[in-house]
Amino acid sequence: MTAVIQVAEHGTFAAAAKVLEMSTSAISKAIARLEDDLNVKLFHRTTRSVSLTPEGERFVLGIKPLLMEIDALSMEVSDYRAAPKGLLRISAPDAFARNVLAPSLSQFRTLYPDIQVDLSLDDRDVDLAGEPIDVAIRTGALPDNATLVARKLYSDPLITCAAPAYLNSNDIPKHPQDLAKHNCLPFRNRRTGRTVPWLFADDVRMNPSGGPRINDIEAVCRVAVAGVGITQLPGHLAAGLIKTGMLQEILDTHRPPDVPVSAIYLNRRFVSPRIRSFIDFMLTVKLPMPSA
């Protein structure tokens, strides 16, 4: 079954054999035996390519989470008293990964030297059951999904701010409605292509107008520091710039409720010690916060 998964993921018997440290013929014979047992063909084979049959696709879809359960159970039993080890694949949004996660990895490696981290900077909706991702860090409200567990790590404020140079040249807004008179710097979601609305207290919501519109939040941040306009940033991104005086918070009395930052992983009976260790570690990492 493991051979089937590896061939499906890597596309050839030879690549699967390399990953499993077996011979290509051994992989081929193992799959042939399984096909005989199931009385079904799992792969289309040609001299140039290998591809799943419809039955093979259904088999892989069903067996993959079961093998992950077996792997997690094996680790739960064998590593119960041992240090966590193995490959941990993490997905996190760009800005969070650069400003919070990456600076903490050195400490994590010191605590867990036998865990190898593979970090992907991505904020799209990942399929944890179908993609090689163990845990994803995401911000904001999450959709209900019985197959997933979400562990809240932090509460991150949304900070409306601008460079002192901009504020010295313009009237400082006293209310969110005043932003209509200012150049606002919107963040455009890469996945949807839509401008992300700004939120304020009392359920006030507005679509910022102005520009440039940018699909990278850290680039928006740099444009704001340059004095081009007003923006709204995650607290962990704005905190250091406010502390150094490069940005100044405005409309602080109109801050919206904090945004949750959560770690998401598959809802399985046995959770890998690698995942548990990482989440427990992240709960000890302090999120950079602007002053209240």
By residue count, the chain amounts to 292
Separation CA 38–CA 57 (nearest Å) = 14
Separation CA 68–CA 247 (nearest Å) = 46
- Residue 163: give its domain's CATH number: 3.40.190.290
Same domain, 235 and 264: no
Residue 50 has pLDDT above 90, yes or no: no
Same domain, 63 and 187: no
pLDDT in tens, 261-292: 999 988 876 778 889 899 999 999 988 888 75
Same domain, 118 and 143: yes
Same domain, 122 and 178: no
CA dist 118 → 105, 135, 286 (Å): 11, 11, 22
Which of 78, 103, 123 terminates a domain? The answer is 78
Place of tokens 């696709």: 57
Does residue 214 contact residue 220 with C-beta atoms inside 8 Å? yes
Same domain, 187 and 200: yes
Q: Is the pTM of this model over 0.85?
A: no
Separation CA 292–CA 41 (nearest Å) = 63
Q: Rounded mean pLDDT of 245-253?
A: 95
Same domain, 190 and 141: no
- Residue 265: give its domain's CATH number: 3.40.190.10
Residue 78 has pLDDT above 70, yes or no: no
Same domain, 62 and 35: yes
Residue 33 has pLDDT above 60, yes or no: yes
DSSP three-state, residue 255: coil
Same domain, 248 and 268: no
Which of 26, 54, 78 terminates a domain? The answer is 78
Please give the residue that has the higher pLDDT: either 47 or 275. Answer: 275
Q: How many domains does the chain have?
A: 3
Separation CA 209–CA 138 (nearest Å) = 26
Same domain, 73 and 94: no
Counting beta carbons within 10 angstroms of the beta carbon of residue 110, is it exposed (0 to 12), middle (13 to 18) or buried (19 or more)?
A: exposed
Q: Show the domain range for 29.
A: 2-78
- Residue 50: give its domain's CATH number: 1.10.10.10
Same domain, 203 and 167: yes
Same domain, 201 and 243: yes
Taking alpha carbons only, the member of 122, 121, 123, 118 closest to residue 88 is 118
Whether 288 maps to a domain, the answer reads no
